[in-house]
Amino acid sequence: MTSTNSADWVLVTGTATGLGRAAAFTLAENGYRVLAAVRKQADMDSLRVEAETRGIAGFVEPIILDVTDAGQIAAAVDIIDAKITAGGRLHAVVHNAGAQFAGPIETMPLTEWRSQFDVLFFGPVALTQRLLPHLRSSRGRVINVTSIGGISPGPMIAAYQAAKAAFEAVSDSMRIEFAPFGVHVSAVAPGAISTPMLNRSPAQLNALAAAMPKSLQPVYADALRAFAKTVASARGLSTSPAKASLTILRAVASPRPRARYLIGTDAKVLAFLKRNLPDRWMDAITFRMMGLPRRV
């Protein structure tokens, strides 16, 4: 899967940690030149140090890019324009930037709902709009990192899953709209990945339960604590970022990439059940798997 064109650039967002960071290095180690997007200077420095340690410093170029900032999107496009002027081409963009807010639908502020959609949906759409002329010219590809939660949603992280479901839907629209240009679009839906975000989640969920208003403690606290236990258990079954990044590489490198990739046994099982079971059965499985209270 090594790139045969040393001028092939891939933009990967959300490369500070986790899957995005692993994908940046996996792509670079396979001959792609990677623009590794992060939001902080410290993360740029960390990427440079690790790239040097791995012997691929010439293949990883960190850049500052917050996908919710129109000015930073414009600056990133200027960088890509310069690469193309110098003889390169944009082969792919990997939309991986992420953030996750947890909590019951009733109590989550609308500002957090909007933040989830800004990072996970509107930002990638805005970036794709700006990059599509380059991808059309290179007959490149768009890789949208979604989530099994966008295919089979559950409770307590509805805003995150709703944004990922929207991203799944727009991936289908992109795939059809962009096909006449020779631009491939793939949705990559991971299950549990052993990232800092996953590792922090149980403590955050327990803290949310403790901070619930007294009037809502009987309503949501037990459900949040049960979900925290489920997430903690998922860590033991999670896929490593390095292994998951190989799926990103396949989507970037394959001559005929799939429309959708699932990462992890949990994602594959949940997608199968969602396709084949009635919704009420899926609800019952969710209650049982997560140990959620059926009555309050």
Report the C-alpha gap between 281 and 289 in whole angstroms: 12
* Neighbour-count burial for 220-235, b at 16+ CB within 10 Å, e otherwise: bbebbbbbbebbbebe
Q: At a CB cut-off of 8 Å and minimum separation 6, what does 112 contact?
A: 101, 103, 159
Q: Is 160 a catalytic residue?
A: yes
Is-contact 156 103, C-beta < 8 A?
yes
The beta-strand segments (E) located in the chain are 8-12, 33-38, 60-64, 89-95, 141-145, 184-190, 260-263
Q: Which of 176, 272, 192, 184 is nearest to 232 (CA)?
A: 192
Report the C-alpha gap between 282 and 273 in whole angstroms: 7
Half-sphere exposure of 122 (CA within 13 A, CB side): 10
Of 32, 160, 220, 261, which is the active-site residue?
A: 160
Active site members: 160
